[in-house]
Amino acid sequence: MLNNFPLWPQQASTIAGNVDALYIFLLIVTGMMALLVFSLVIFFAARFRHRPGVRAEQVEGSTPLEVVWSTIPFLIFMVIFGWGAVVFFKERTPPADATEVYVVAKQWMWKLEHAEGQREINELHVPVGRDVKLIMTSQDVIHSFYIPAFRIKQDVLPGRYTVEWFKATKPGVYHLFCAEYCGTQHSGMVGSIVVQQPADYEAWMAGASTGPLSVSGEKIFAELGCSSCHRSDMQGRGPNLQGVFGNPVQLEDGRTMIADENYLRQCILDPGSKRLKGFQPIMPTFQGLVDEEQVNALVAYIKAMSISKPMDGAKTSASSAMAGEVEVNDSAEQGAGQSAGPSQSLPHGSQVQ
């Protein structure tokens, strides 16, 4: 219906219908209320207009009337609240097996890196019918990643990750906007979301010039010397990073938290703030030494160390390769004792430029 009468942008994601239904409900409720108020104003103005010889009487309150006009709006508001909460949590909770894309915003462009390897600027290719999770950060100021056809919008902040997700339902090309004023070229910070059939998407992905993001991360990990402390044999001065992601970690100050993307990111850039219990504060900060894209690659690598199951439908080269590599790494390091580092024991790292 709405496609032939475009008051709304296209509905092209699984959440779009839910958002629109709630929005239409709000329009109807507020429209009816406005109609009721204006009708009563006109009715009362006519009914109780001034007539010669008639004096106005004072009307005392009516408890039943007040109970009715308090209870009915309360119930309507509770429906809106409950319904809104359901849609909100659905939209805020990325499915666990979603394909991941790292987004770096900067004045004034979007840089997108698929965990599987492709990089894009101001354009994001995704397959139809697959959950896609965007892990986003900004290099400078606050931006906002907005896809009207998918009904999703999320601020993109410097210094931390924010997340949003969608599942596209229709092939096509959709607008991507920056929805937070971010400087003189803000209005030019636009792009497109290209939703393809899975086969077309696989063909497009096969043209990737770079390897999986986790493999780039592994290379950076070795180059920065992370592997000399973070070893998988528990002999290192830093914690073993395998199996860390997604699990609870106990901090030196007694807190326990889940090691999510933001935790890993903070540990790289501000290692003192969330130090693991039982480890010395000897890790230097990498703030200024790695850019946002390198942090993303490192995070993707550390995540890949923890994920043993293949990601989503089409097996990605990243996950299947990493699962194999981690095993190789394990046995190689156990066999070789102290000396083996990831760059020596992991064949993939050396293939990637």
Q: Quote the CA–CA distance of 220 and 286 in Å, as a whole number.
A: 12
Quick one: 105 or 195, whose CB is closer to ligand CUA? 105
Please count the residues of this chain forming the interface with ligand CUA, following the rule CB under 6 A.
Answer: 9
Spell out a b/e string for 280-315, using b for 16 or more CB atoms within 10 Å of the CB, else e.
eeebeebeeebebbbbbbbbbbbbbbbbeeebbeee
Query: Does residue 297 interact with ligand CUA by CB under 6 A?
Result: no
- C-beta of residue 307 within 8 angstroms of C-beta of residue 245: yes
**Alpha carbon of 161 to those of 74, 188, 190: distances in Å?**
37, 23, 20
Q: Which residues, 81 to 120, sit near ligand CUA by CB under 6 A?
A: 105, 108
Number of H helices, E strands in the chain: 10, 12
- C-beta of residue 97 within 8 angstroms of C-beta of residue 131: yes
CB of 123 to ligand CUA, least distance (A): 16
Q: Quote the CA–CA distance of 46 and 145 in Å, as a whole number.
A: 52
Nearest to 166 by CA among 11, 293, 1: 11
Quick one: 136 or 213, whose CB is closer to ligand CUA? 136
CB of 107 to ligand CUA, least distance (A): 7
CB of 20 to ligand CUA, least distance (A): 25
CB of 146 to ligand CUA, least distance (A): 9
Among 114, 133, 143, 274, binds ligand CUA (CB under 6 A): 143
Contact letters (x/-) for ligand CUA, 145-184, by CB under 6 A? ---------------------------------x-xxx--
CB of 138 to ligand CUA, least distance (A): 8
Q: Which residues lie across from 276 on neighbouring strands?
A: 251
Among 149, 189, 307, 340, binds ligand CUA (CB under 6 A): 189
| Interface residues toward ligand CUA, by CB under 6 A | 105, 108, 143, 178, 180-182, 186, 189
